Structure 1
Amino acid sequence: MFGYLNKHIQDSLAERRSRRTRLVTKDGRCNIEFGNIKYSKHFAFLADFWTTFVEIRWRFVLFFFIASFTLSWFIFGLLWYWIARSNGDLTWQNPPLDHTPCVDNVVGLTTAFLYSLETQTTIGYGGRALTPLCPGAVALLIIQSLLGAIINCFMCGVILSKISLPKKRAKTITFSDMAVISPKNGSLCLSIRVANLRKTLMIGSQIYGKLLRTNNTPDGETIIMDQVNIDFMVDAGKDNLFFVCPLTLYHIIDKSSPFFEMAVDTLHKKEFELVVFLDGTAESTSSSCQVRTSFIPQEIMWGYNFLPIISRSKEGKYRVDFSNFSKVVPVATAHCAYCFHNIKGHHHHSRDGHDNQGFEVIDINDPPNVTKM
């Protein structure tokens, strides 16, 4: 039991360390912070206040929503109180019986606040009404009505924009937990699986990757977070994907690939992060969005391949079994990319894997140049 607890604690600590060292988390958030920014730079966020309001957290949006309306009601309530006081309308001023007030039934601070609220929200209960005696009160009514409309439009626009942010659509795009390296179509490939959980398409989808690593130049300079382009594709190409069902993305490991120098026994000792991007436009909202995820060396399995997840029912419908989405099975694979290209029959066999024996795979005869799952 103590051995199990110790192993569980060690695994948890290792997972936390991997999270801290990631630039991009598995759910696509960037793990980076900015320091020593000059104070004057903060005014740039105020200049672009619309983007600032849309990007801040919901708790702050709700706070500003409540504060903006409440504060405007209170400030204009003070102004209405000042107008009533200047005209002698308040109760403690003992107005004469034939006195004509600027606003009927505004006789104190509470009634002035209520009239301000009723004016800006256009409620109009009928108990308090403006009289044409005071020109300043008429001007204040116009100013408050216009300012209230502006606040209402701005705050409603911010809330609507936050609700319809494209990154919410990105949450229904999911990547496999692991990446695999195995032979595919006569080449050694690094494969990743991606799925669209909605039936609506992602139009104009494009996939690409970046390998982030620390690189030392011949001049002795250390480049932190050096970026190398990683090309991904599917059998039907890499642009304008028909993303209606899960796809398997693969990167060919050839001499130009940064994975060419790696091997099965050195892969997990490397320090790098593979960030995968999928850009597309949501069919239902026409908004562009980007989905990101990352893989560290411990999340890349050499000598494995994904299990099939596409089958066809007796009624002729296509069925996706997401229980096999991230499951892999061992396959015969060369120990290294160099061995694969230069030493025939030099294969690495994995003994353990994750299989689903209860899943029945039905062969589907695909025509040429069609994406295969």
Structure 2
Amino acid sequence: MALENSIFPSPRTRRKRQRYVEKNGRCNVQHGNMRETYRYLTDIFTTLVDLNWRCSLFVFVMAYAVTWLFFGAIWYLIAYCRGDLDHLEDETWTPCVNNVNGFISAFLFSIETETTIGYGHRVITDQCPVGTMLLLLQAILGSMVNAFMVGCMFVKISQPNKRAETLVFSKHAVISPRDDKLCLMFRVGDLRSSHIVGANIRAKLIKSKQTQEGEFIPLDQTDISVGFETGDDRLFLVSPLVISHEIDARSPFWDMSQAQLEKEDFEIVVILEGMVEATGMTCQARSSYLAEELLWGHRFSPMMSLAEGFFDVDYGAFHHTFEVDTPSCSARELSLAAARLDAHLYWSISSRLDEEPTLANQAAKQPDSGSANSKGGEPTFIVGEMTDIQEQSGLGELNGSVATDQSESEA
């Protein structure tokens, strides 16, 4: 029996969902069968910046080494063609470049020319017009290569990707009431003292979808409102904040109950963007929550306390949650139950107001023979009852007619 269960798993066992975005923000998407690779060469600067560090360092070294070798070979070829190598011991011979006696010396002169080191031992002479033109060409191309490669390395070093490592998200998201409304919440925080300027938060629901026409969309993206209409998505991220999504009629979780949540297969991707205060570059941090990482009926533990002259944030409680009383039904069912309760209270009050004027009308339509007992307590009771009704429902005319009949009977 145990062997059969191991071979044929239970249908209740849910397959673990493949993440679209990892917890550290890395996207699990690989592009294949791309035939228009020439587009990478049209944007060679971005291509070099996007390379990993191993490839970037290799390209950086090869760019300088190839240009040095290329121009060193040309300097050697000029010396060889002019016969400078044959007149090394002839002091009356004026070479193109002094002290170039082989390929190694020509290569060193190329390095000195491109890097503008200038040791002064190998110097170009004025008897070589070709060498003068080559010197100008190497100086110009060397400056371009230097600017291009140094620019690539500077941009790669100053990329704000590592800044996103200090922007943290809670391990779990929670669903619990907030201000009598069911909300989905998660926590974000910044570990650095330098702030993220203009920080804003977004959230996406990644879930398979089938349209009414039968089209299947494997990774459909749906916006989850985290305060875009009210401006709550723009954060002042000085201390950790709890981001709340109100589950209303426009929310994709409107019909989702606790039991249904355990059967769902979706992913919530959260994106925090802002500008790094130190460099002014845009930074983006990402994380995601699977359906099993949503805790129903939980709330985040407080982590801020007031110390002497400042607010103390305890990041040890950043991921901590605790249970709270939360109905297990969906937000739609809660809304319908609240609407039924309001309707019941409304109709019960209205029916009570309708019954009291009916009794008063019956008493007002009694025959005049009852006026002989006007000195008794019954007419006075009717007037008092109608006075109470006037205060509640504003039936002034009915009260006036009853009072007039009473005064005539007393006369």
| TM-score, normalised by the number of residues in structure 2 | 0.75
Give the equivalent residue in structure 2 for 1:371: none
Count, aligned residues: 323
User: How far is 1:270 from its partner?
Assistant: 0.9
Asked if 1:218 is matched to 2:212, the reply is: yes
SS of the residue corresponding to residue 90 of structure 1 reads helix
- Looking at structure 1, the residues matched to 16 and 325 of structure 2 have their Cα atoms a distance apart, in angstroms, of 32
Give the equivalent residue in structure 2 for 1:34: 31
SS of the residue corresponding to residue 70 of structure 2 reads helix
Give the equivalent residue in structure 1 for 2:59: 64
Give the equivalent residue in structure 2 for 1:151: 145
Instruction: Give matches, 1:291-302, under 5 Å.
Output: 291-302=285-296
SS of the residue corresponding to residue 61 of structure 1 reads helix
| Unpaired stretches in structure 2, ≥5 consecutive residues | 1-12, 339-411
SS of the residue corresponding to residue 256 of structure 1 reads coil
Partners of 1:310 and 1:320 within 8 A in 2: yes
User: How far is 1:311 from its partner?
Assistant: 0.6
C-alpha offsets along residues 175-198 of structure 1, whole Å, 9 cap, x if unaligned? Answer: 111101111111111101000112
Tell me which amino acid in the other structure corresponds to 1:321: D
Asked if 1:161 is matched to 2:161, the reply is: no
- Looking at structure 1, the residues matched to 212 and 81 of structure 2 have their Cα atoms a distance apart, in angstroms, of 81
C-alpha offsets along residues 213-250 of structure 1, whole Å, 9 cap, x if unaligned? Answer: 1112222221111111101149x842432111111001
User: How far is 1:284 from its partner?
Assistant: 2.3
CA RMSD of aligned residues (A): 2.0
Structure number with higher helix proportion: 2
Give the equivalent residue in structure 1 for 2:348: none
Partners of 2:72 and 2:103 within 8 A in 1: yes
SS of the residue corresponding to residue 59 of structure 1 reads helix
SS of the residue corresponding to residue 265 of structure 1 reads helix
User: How far is 1:96 from its partner?
Assistant: 3.3
Tell me which amino acid in the other structure corresponds to 2:238: V
- Looking at structure 2, the residues matched to 132 and 78 of structure 1 have their Cα atoms a distance apart, in angstroms, of 21
Give the equivalent residue in structure 1 for 2:310: 317
Of all paired residues, the percent bearing the same amino acid is: 42
User: How far is 1:102 from its partner?
Assistant: 0.9
C-alpha offsets along residues 144-202 of structure 1, whole Å, 9 cap, x if unaligned? Answer: 11111111111111111111223332222111111011111111111010001122222
Structure 1 consecutive aligned stretches of length 4 or more whose deviation exceeds 6 Å: none
Instruction: Give matches, 1:9-88, under 5 Å.
Output: 18=17, 21-38=18-35, 41-88=36-83
Give the equivalent residue in structure 1 for 2:123: 129
Tell me which amino acid in the other structure corresponds to 2:113: T
- Looking at structure 2, the residues matched to 268 and 88 of structure 1 have their Cα atoms a distance apart, in angstroms, of 86
Alpha-carbon spacing, 1:53–1:214, altered in 2? closer, same or farther (3 Å):
same
SS of the residue corresponding to residue 136 of structure 2 reads helix
Give the equivalent residue in structure 1 for 2:234: 240
C-alpha offsets along residues 114-161 of structure 1, whole Å, 9 cap, x if unaligned? Answer: 111111111222221111111111111111111111111111111111
- Looking at structure 1, the residues matched to 269 and 304 of structure 2 have their Cα atoms a distance apart, in angstroms, of 26
Partners of 2:202 and 2:233 within 8 A in 1: no
SS of the residue corresponding to residue 262 of structure 2 reads helix
Partners of 1:209 and 1:231 within 8 A in 2: yes
Alpha-carbon spacing, 1:94–1:127, altered in 2? closer, same or farther (3 Å):
closer
